Structure 1
Amino acid sequence: MNIIDKTDEEILEIAHPMWDDLVNYSNKGQYGKFIKKFSYDLLLGLNEVEVGNQFAHSELARNLVEERDFLGIIRRGQHVTVLYRVRCKTREGEWLGRMVLGYERGEVRIFAASIF
């Protein structure tokens, strides 16, 4: 199974709810729920202390606006990158949200997620 074979619409049916969950759990500081769809390799590479500090101290990570603007999909290899424009409730400006999706053991999982 390769996620790049899905149509844009099929990818977005998967991606939008996953992104919305990331924003929701980030705003609430719910680390366990935030990482629940992460791939095994991503979980292995996380520094839990650093991620915990981001939840506790990052104004951006705790104040994301729930509405997002979809910007596009990039297909590469066994993964797709879904791009969003995101905003913060407490800081002016816009950020680029990125989420990389692919299959792991028959399920779509998050292989990377970040806000720039």
Structure 2
Amino acid sequence: MPDEELLAIAHPMWEELIKYSNKGQYGKFIKKFSYNLLFGLNEVEVGKQFAKSELTRSLSKDYDFLGTIRRGEHVTILYRVRSTKKEGEWLGRMVLGFEDGEVRIFGASIF
């Protein structure tokens, strides 16, 4: 998939992750996750993160796209992320791939 098509899909997915992370809406946050990612999640730990992490509840809607890393059947999209409450910058990472003919999220994190 060319970068333009990929980013037209990736950026809205990233924006949804930020939106639902900030709202603490776990069910909506994971709605585009792949089956394997969902299967491997520890829902108790993710729930604690939503409840206790100031960073994951205060992500700025403004982000910078940094680039892509293509590897096998997956593409990693990298973003510079900021918080509305904490100073500094973080690296956002979202791994995309196809599952049952749809683009799904195979990994998402902020470092």
Partner of 2:36 in structure 1? 41
Q: Give the TM-score, by structure 1 length.
A: 0.95
Deviating beyond 3 angstroms after TM superposition, the runs of 4 or more aligned structure 1 residues are: none
Q: Give the TM-score, by structure 2 length.
A: 0.99
RMSD of equivalent CA atoms:
0.3
Q: Map 1:1-116; keep pairs closer than 5 Å.
A: 6-116=1-111
State the one-letter code of the partner of 1:94. Answer: E
CA shift digits 1:52-72 (9 cap, x unpaired) = 000000000000000110000
Q: Which runs of 5+ in 2 are unaligned?
A: none
Q: Which has the higher strand share?
A: 2
Identity %: 75
Q: Which runs of 5+ in 1 are unaligned?
A: 1-5
Identify the structure with bigger relative contact order (alpha carbons < 8 Å, sequence gap 6+): 1
